[in-house]
Amino acid sequence: MIYNLGYNFEEIRKETKAINTVPFSSARKRMSVIYQVSKTKKFFIFSKGAPEILLESCKYYISKANSISEIDSNWRDEFNSTINQFSNDSLRTLLLCYR
């Protein structure tokens, strides 16, 4: 998926350093990693975990066209419907977020 958005994962890994990791916890239903970009010295937090938990902290999403859009109630309802469909098919879902 990351390649479909035009990113080269190997190059990104060379330019970043993991500063801290918070392991997955069933109580938190997520795990997080803090990275620092070598060139810009900026920090990013990446979290992955249960969509119903992480979505509460999100204001925007990245579309398939690689544009940033605000999450509105229609998008949230459609997202939750998709998650429920996956769940009904016994599929596990994960949400990836960054800040």
Structural domain boundaries of the chain?
A: 9-98
**What class, spelled out in words, does domain 9-98 have in CATH?**
alpha beta
The tokens describing 21, both together, are 């990791």
The tokens describing 45, both together, are 């937090």
Which residue in the block uniquely carries the two structure tokens 């801290």?
20
- pTM of the complete model beyond 0.85: no
In three-state secondary structure terms, 38 is coil
The C-alpha atoms of residue 59 and residue 86 are separated, in whole angstroms, by 23
Q: What is the pLDDT of residues 35-81, one digit of tens each?
A: 998 888 899 999 999 999 999 999 999 887 888 999 999 999 999 99
Distance of CA 21 to the CA centre of its chain: 15
- What average pLDDT is seen over the chain? 89
The C-alpha atoms of residue 24 and residue 48 are separated, in whole angstroms, by 9
